[in-house]
Each structure stands twice: as structure tokens, then as C-alpha cells.
Chain A
Amino acid sequence: MTVKLGVPSKGRLMEKTFAWFDKRGISLIRTGSDREYAGAVTGVDGIDLVLLSAGEIPRELSAGRIHLGVTGTDLVQEKLPLWEQQVEELAPLGFGHADLVLAVPQCWIDVDTLDDLDAAAAAFRIAHGHRMRIATKYHRLVHGFLRDSGVADYQLVDSQGATEGTVMNETAEMIADITSTGETLRANHLKLLVDGLILRSQATLWRSRVAPVDSAEKHVLNVLIDRLG
């Protein structure tokens, strides 16, 4: 059988992943038409390329349907409970840098730290009769971070896109989202909390700890990992 390598199926993340492998003498190519998600690997024998959405790669790794996969630290830690037991980090790839951060409106001149946020949340709940809403798609990471920091009186509301706009639309009071330069946050009149960094993320190559491997696949994996190291 073959070793299955899952990589992001489109955009800059795919291009940079291809370039990263290329630099190490392994070329990944998309085959067929532009719209067809099929690909091939040359440079090491016995590897199948599986093109997937970056968001699906953690699940495929934990289900053992792919042996290796490229996706962000944020997605692995958000989607996989006890992620260390399910996947092993083989190599950070040095691109796709993004921070998961807490951001509040710039007009909240009294809120710059988690301590401020907690106090503001308490007062907000009394004034408005509901908890302060934080729009995010990273529910587990944000909840875990706020629990560990002892922040109370908030609620998470799901936002799968255009999260920065939720405050202006008044569907949330603040957000927790991925940012690389902070430009979108600023454009939407939001600012970071000084101690509100939840996670630093980058594109990373993962190995599934649960995908079954026979001796031939094990050999291929070793050759590949050796080449990448």
C-alpha cells in the first residue's frame, strides 16, 4: 500500500507547501484540470497525494485516513481533543504564521488587559442582562484560555467568517480570531489585548499516530522523514 500525504487543496497555503517540499527534492503536483482535486508525488516512491481543505486535515489525521498532513497548529489544537496523543509534529514549515488573539473595539479605552476585560464583562452583564458575546470559530481554544485566565461572564457566539464585522453589526461585543498583520482588525476599529494572545500558529507537517502502517509504508515514511529532516 501507499503512504497518504494530505495537503491544502488551494491558494497560497497549497503553493507554499508545494514549494517547501520541492526545496527538499520532493515535488508535489496537481494533475488533471484546475478544478479536479487530484495530485501526484515524485521524488520518493510510494506516496499518494491527497488534496483536502486545511480544515479537514486534522480530522483525517485523527481518523487515520492519511499518514501525514499539512495544516495549521490552530486547526489541530482546536479540532482534536488530546491532540498530542493523536498526531506528532514533524516540522513547522515556516509560513502561514497567524496568531489567535482576543480583540476588542478601539473605543474601549478602559480595556487593555484580561483583568480589564473581566471587569468590563461583569459590568456589561449587569447593564445589558446578557453575557458579553465573543464571536469566534475557535470555541475550544478560546474557552480553555479564558477559563485558565479566570475571565467570567462571557459567552461564545459562533462565527465562521467575516468575524471582524460582528462588532459593528452588534451581533457580538468582541472577537477571538486569527490575525497575521492585524490590518483587518484595525480596519474594523478593533485592537488587541496586551495579554490576549491565545496561540501562535503556523503551517506544520503532522504525522498521524493512529493511521495503520505496514512494513512497506513504514519504510517509505522513514525515507521521507529522513529526506525532510
Chain B
Amino acid sequence: MATRAETLAEAARLRALFAEAGALPIETPILQPAETLLDLYGEDIRARAYVTSDALRGEQMLRPDFTVPVVQMHMEHGAEPARYTYAGEVFRRQEQDPARASEYVQVGYEVFDRASPAGADAEVFALISKALNGLNLRAATGDIGILLAAVKGLNTTDRRKAALMRHIWRPRRFRALLDRFSGRSPVPPTRAALLAASDPVPVTAPQIGLRSAAEIEGRIEALRLDAESDPIGATELAALETLLTVRETAPFALAHLRDIAVDLPAITPALYLLEARLDALDARGINVDRLDFEASYGRTSMEYYDGFVFGFYAESRPDLPAIATGGRYDALTRHLGKGAEIPAVGGVLRPGLMLDLNGAAA
């Protein structure tokens, strides 16, 4: 294991590398306001944040990552375009695996630039790939934007689309919803009984709790409307399911996705973006013919990413988490921008793990 001093030295070296590439080194406080920021993380990180409080500032958390505080800082007073780099500890409670660190050092590079999203994606990926050079890692890539476009383009009700969108990041619930909206899974008996009941449904139990009678009636109304809607068509459903299984080297994946776009035309703009990104990666010296692309990559762990996603993994060490991860998070800038937004993409490295891998190889 690398010592703390070695890890910090490696972090400083990487941050200097990113600064040389044009990024402004920045710092963020370790204590962050939990109330405003915690909700922006996915469940996994949210449940693992160390949250504490004091009488004056209320709930505070030890920063579980840098991206959210960096976006907040940029949206408040950042110049445009901007490139930032940072290095420091992040903190995550470990509830399951004692081998995983609850405090570790991250180094990151974030780009806020409207000019060329594909170019910025390639810039971040290539730079991180270069920093990891020699460690013999496997890169995984994906694109949440294609999934979002596929769901948005489905020929069904807005309410169903919203429900599916909400669960893009939870594959099991996504599948259950898809089964229900396509009529493949039977209506649960409890719901069938509710829908068969007289309108309004008689309620004998006392009204308790914050959730009001009006909210309950509203949902029953929504269920009635949903029951009258046509199921999602078989062609669209098959195309969407094929899309979720695409896992090939990038050029083949793109060709396969183009076939799928015949039945899901809404993903075409996202495919142009994927193609432009592959060209931009190629121009930066990445061998895209050997780059893996997985349509479902990033669905389980990377909740605020909504476009390009990537991770680097040590295949010889399946016990280790990703050595580097990153992606595009345009929607996050919208949440924190109070009306303003800017395309943004970034990635983080774990210098401690990099040193451990290097040490094992030496």
C-alpha cells in the first residue's frame, strides 16, 4: 500500500499535469452544505456521505466528491469556458466491505465549454488515459444520452416516459416498468381491485400522515388514465431491449446502434454525437477500433451523468474499484445554475490505487 505522503505527492504530480494541459487549480472546502448538495448525488453516494451538523450552519457533510462542489462554484462565479483541476480527500462511509477505503484521494479535471461537446469529451478521456499510461487498464465507455433519447422518443405517455427516465439508473426497476407499460407483466391483483372499485374509492381508514387525501386521489386518477393507455409497441420494445444489450468495440457498436435507430429514430442525434466523439478520440490518438462501448455502462453507479461515461479498470485486480471514472453532466449544471446551464464533462483518478498497481508491477 502506498503511504499517505506518497499518495499526496502522486496527486500533486497529476494535478500539475492537468494544470499544464490548461486547467486552473482550485480548492473546495471539505465541509459542504448537505441540505443543498446531498440530493444531487445518486442514492449510493447519498447514503454513504458522512453527515454531521452544527447549530449555526445546519447539516454539513464531508465532501463525497469534488464534481458537485466544483459545479456549484463554477455556476456561481466561473468564467467561460473554464477548465479546472483539483486534488484532495473525499469521504464515503463503507457499510459492507471493510477492504474499501472510507477516505481516499481523488485528482480531477473538469471542462465547462460550449464549443464542442464531442471535443471536450475526447479531451477529458484522452488526458486521463494519458495519465494512466503504463498501468495496463481496460477502458469501458458508454453513453447515457443515447438511453435518455431512446426513452424520450418512445411512443407512449409523458407520465410513463418520466417514470422510465427516473429509473434509467436502476436497471431492475426500469425493466419492471417496461414490462408493465408493455403489458408483458400482469396487473398486480391489488391494483386491479383498486381500478375496479367505484369512483371515488371509499376509504374507511383514518387519514394520517403528511401525504394528503388529494395526493392519493391524484395517483388513483393517474392509474386510471394509465390503464386506458395503449401498451408500448412490440417493435419499439424489442429495439429498446436490444439497445440495452449492445456491447462491442466502438465502431461495431455504432453500426449496431444505427440498425436499432431504424426502429428508434429518436436516438439518431445522440448517435451523431457518438460518431463525432469517436472521431475526436481518434484525432487525439485513442485507438477507437479497440475501445469497448457498452450501452448500459454507467447505469448502476453514475447517477448525475447524462451523456458520455467512462471508467478505467485493472483487469488483474477485480477486487479494486475503478481507478478512474468520469462523464458528462450537463443536467447537473442546470440544477445548480438556477436557470443557467453549460455543457460540462470531467473525470477523476485515484492516485493511491495507481501507486499500488505500479508497485505491484515493479
A interface residues (Cβ-Cβ under 8 A, vs B)? 81-82, 105-110, 112-113, 115-116, 118-120, 122-124, 127-128, 131-132, 140, 143, 147-152, 167-168, 170, 172-174, 189, 194
Contacts of A107 in B (CB 8 A): 203, 205-209, 213, 216
Q: Which of B163, B194, B208 contacts A105 (CB 8 A)?
A: B208
Contacts of A174 in B (CB 8 A): 209
Contacts of A81 in B (CB 8 A): 94-98
Contacts of B205 in A (CB 8 A): 105-107, 109, 189
CB within 8 Å of A: which B36-81 residues? 39, 43-44, 47
Please list the 7 inter-chain residue pairs (A to B) with the smallest Cβ-Cβ separation, ordered nearest first. Answer: A150-B173, A106-B205, A112-B190, A150-B170, A107-B205, A150-B172, A167-B209
Cβ-defined contact, B201 with A167, below 8 A: no
**B48 shortest CB reach to chain A, Å:** 10
Distance between Cα atoms of A106 and B218 in the complex (Å) = 17
B13 within 8 A of A: no
Distance between Cα atoms of A17 and B95 in the complex (Å) = 31
Distance between Cα atoms of A105 and B203 in the complex (Å) = 12
Distance between Cα atoms of A83 and B210 in the complex (Å) = 37
**B152 shortest CB reach to chain A, Å:** 18
**B211 shortest CB reach to chain A, Å:** 6
Cβ-defined contact, B209 with A110, below 8 A: no
Cβ-defined contact, B170 with A109, below 8 A: no
Distance between Cα atoms of A147 and B39 in the complex (Å) = 16
Distance between Cα atoms of A115 and B180 in the complex (Å) = 10
**A174 shortest CB reach to chain B, Å:** 8
Distance between Cα atoms of A120 and B191 in the complex (Å) = 14
Q: Which of A108, A113, A168, A170 contacts B216 (CB 8 A)?
A: A108
Q: Which of B174, B191, B203 contacts A112 (CB 8 A)?
A: B191
Distance between Cα atoms of A128 and B209 in the complex (Å) = 12
The 14 listed contacts between A and B (C-beta, < 8 Å) are: A105-B208, A107-B207, A109-B203, A109-B220, A110-B194, A110-B223, A112-B188, A115-B176, A116-B191, A122-B163, A147-B47, A150-B170, A152-B173, A168-B208
B172-188 contact mask (Cβ, 8 Å, vs A): 1 or 0: 11101000100000001
Distance between Cα atoms of A170 and B44 in the complex (Å) = 27
Given contacts A81-B98, A110-B223, A119-B219, contact A150 B176 (CB under 8 A): yes
Cβ-defined contact, A110 with B97, below 8 A: no
Contacts of B170 in A (CB 8 A): 150, 152
Cβ-defined contact, A105 with B211, below 8 A: yes
Distance between Cα atoms of A105 and B216 in the complex (Å) = 11
**B244 shortest CB reach to chain A, Å:** 15
Cβ-defined contact, A167 with B208, below 8 A: yes
B20 within 8 A of A: no
**A102 shortest CB reach to chain B, Å:** 14
B138 within 8 A of A: no
Cβ-defined contact, B96 with A150, below 8 A: no
Cβ-defined contact, B209 with A168, below 8 A: yes
B167 within 8 A of A: yes
Contacts of A173 in B (CB 8 A): 209-211
**A64 shortest CB reach to chain B, Å:** 15
* Besides A110-B220, A116-B191, 18 new A-B residue pairs in contact (Cβ under 8 A), listed by A number: A81-B94, A82-B96, A82-B98, A105-B209, A107-B209, A109-B194, A113-B191, A118-B173, A119-B219, A128-B210, A131-B39, A147-B43, A148-B172, A149-B173, A152-B166, A167-B208, A189-B206, A189-B208
B152-164 contact mask (Cβ, 8 Å, vs A): 1 or 0: 0000000000010
B215 within 8 A of A: yes
Cβ-defined contact, A152 with B167, below 8 A: yes
Contacts of A127 in B (CB 8 A): 215
Contacts of A119 in B (CB 8 A): 163, 219
Q: Quick one: closest B residue to A113, CB to CB? A: B188
Contacts of B219 in A (CB 8 A): 110, 119-120, 123
Distance between Cα atoms of A168 and B209 in the complex (Å) = 5
Most buried by B among A109, A119, A147, A151: A109
Distance between Cα atoms of A194 and B190 in the complex (Å) = 9
Distance between Cα atoms of A37 and B206 in the complex (Å) = 45
Cβ-defined contact, A150 with B167, below 8 A: yes
Contacts of A167 in B (CB 8 A): 208-209
